[in-house]
A and B are shown apart, each in its own frame.
Chain A
Amino acid sequence: MIYYISFILIGIGLYGIVSQKNLLKQLVALTIIDTAVNIFIVSLGYLQGAEAPIYSVITPVANFVDPLPQALVLTAIVIGVGTLAMASMLLIHIHEKYGSVDVDEICSAKEVIE
């Protein structure tokens, strides 16, 4: 079930990128895709009834969920945040240069500048 949710979210994100003319909204759509992929990866390591992958006296039998996807998602989250920060910086520069983050208005401003 969780797989479907993540792929639906990816679809929503892709639709957002394609349909939105506001660059900030495109960026929000991108973060939805990022989150959806992270949910997808975590769900791959999930096992019904299994425990957190930490050895202790309470969990002598290693009935763990797969810890690797969790580690991968941590890395993917860091990369996603970096990309988001960079995109935000670019958006600020775009707004400073063209006075808008709307694609149509940017194109009009570009024509005036050129």
Chain B
Amino acid sequence: MIALLVAVPLAFAFVTVALPKLSKYIFPLVALFNLALLIGFVHPSQVIEVGKWPAAYGIVLLLDNVNYPFLIMVNLILLAVSISATFEEKIGTLLIVLTASINGLLLTGDFFNAYVFLEIISAVAYILSAQNKNSYAAFKYLIFGAVAGTLYLIGAVSMYVYSGTLNMAFSGYISAPEYAQIAGIFMLIAMLVELKVLPLGLWAPDVYSNGSTLTPVVLGSAITLAMFYFYSRVFFNVLGSVKPYLVYIIAIISIVLAQLAAMKQKTLGRALAYVAIAGASTVLAAFSAGAPGDEKIISASLVYLLNDVIALFVLFTVFGYLKGKGFKDNFVAGVAFSLTSISLIGFPLTTGFWAKLNLISALFEAGDKLLPIFILSSTILEAGYLIKWNVDLWYSEDENSEEYVPFGAQIVILLFALALVVFGFMPNLITDQTDKIASYVFDFSTYFDTILKGGM
């Protein structure tokens, strides 16, 4: 049944090619169907052998305790996008294809199948990046992304050479660690590009600031979540961490560069783009710090990721509609923007506060003092420029502005902003789930047994 998460969106994508006007209605219905299927009809520990070819010979799709919450979150974000964003009919088809490919990436247990889904996601992302006549930025992204794709392919094929299979679980089990590390380096570079870690994420500022209500929201929320899942699956679950100290250093440099750049930006779109880069880099640095198997750090970084993803959804949606104009005639959008800014900074009684507090205390417990220093410093910088942007927008003199946030989008961003506050009062609602993911993400034997059904 879990194959329906890929098959149904793909089938409806074909329908919308013939009936493009229906894409605006089919896209939310597909996302709703996926959510209903996930919550009501499937449960973790399900494996589908595609074409009845058993693992490790054929492709398997797996639903387990690690990807299950990610699938729910991604489909929820896509449902929210279908309500809040404005897009052309033909883009609706692309978004349905994107839904299928993200679900496929989250479910697959095969290196090459993951490559195909990654490339489909990238192809959709390139087209979304070209929105608002932003072709030059999209081209830059395409060059970065295509090179990353070929590097991932070299890594995936290397795993096949070492193990004789493309099945993630079995090739991770059978490959010698030193060979898996070589393949892992290729995959790592590819993922650093997609996770927009500087300097490999230099494509991101131009793409994220294109002014669309769709591009930065989809790229910064749904695709980022999927990429972090895939990163944790490959480097925590299958191959083991690859050069974690090097990734840690690169991510910290990326945090510093992104925060300094965000501070200097004169347009809100580019400032938010650098905020997105800094957030992703912080999560990556925390993932690297927790790579030896520290569940507390991973759990805290997942809360950080969730806060970041929801906050960026709201901030980019408001920016996309108002184009940096003030909140005078858009009170709800202003409230949502300010609440998420507060959570992103990490003020007490918001999700961001617990994300940062948990992460810093987990890092201190693990004896890491470097990353907490950078998190605290970047919090101060973030507080400075985000408060400045909020004040500018609330006291903006732009009157008679024609820009407004549609009713559907207002509801979505307000609900997301309130969710960050509610989770701030009841952090256990999130931390219980992230603790569960963190406890399973390092459990290779359960993953192996589920896919291989107890052995070959």
Contact = CB atoms under 8 A, between A and B. Distances in A.
A53 interface: no
B153 A17 contact: no
Residue of B133, B142, B161 with most chain A CB atoms under a 10 A cut-off: B142
Contacts of B335: none
A37 interface: yes
Interface in A99-114: 106, 110
A110 B140 CA distance: 15
A98 B153 contact: no
A90 B126 CA distance: 9
Contact of A86 (B127, B133, B161): B127
Contact of A14 (B138, B142, B147, B160): B147
B133 A93 contact: yes
A23 B139 contact: yes
Contacts of A34: 146, 150
Contacts of B133: 93, 97
A106 B42 CA distance: 51
A30 B139 contact: no
B157 A17 contact: no
A50 interface: no
B135 A17 contact: no
A72 B157 contact: yes
Contacts of B147: 14, 17, 30, 33
A83 B150 CA distance: 12
Contacts of B185: none
Interface in B190-246: none
A93 B127 CA distance: 12
Interface string A2-39: 00000000100010010000010011001001100100
B157 A83 contact: no
B126 A106 contact: no
A76 B153 contact: yes
Given A17-B147, A94-B136, A98-B136, A41 B157 contact: yes
Contacts of B142: 83, 86-87, 90
B260 interface: no
- The CB with the most chain B CB atoms within 10 A, among A17, A83, A93, is that of A83
A68 interface: yes
Contacts of A75: 112, 116
Given A69-B157, A83-B119, A94-B136, 20 more contacts: A17-B147, A30-B143, A33-B146, A34-B146, A37-B153, A37-B154, A40-B154, A44-B157, A44-B160, A44-B161, A72-B112, A72-B157, A72-B160, A79-B149, A82-B123, A83-B142, A90-B130, A90-B139, A93-B133, A106-B136
Top 8 A-B residue pairs of the complex, sorted by shortest distance between their CB atoms: A93-B135, A90-B139, A90-B135, A79-B119, A37-B150, A94-B135, A41-B157, A83-B146
Interface of A: 10, 14, 17, 23, 26-27, 30, 33-34, 37, 40-41, 44, 68-69, 72, 75-76, 79, 82-83, 86-87, 90-91, 93-94, 97-98, 106, 110
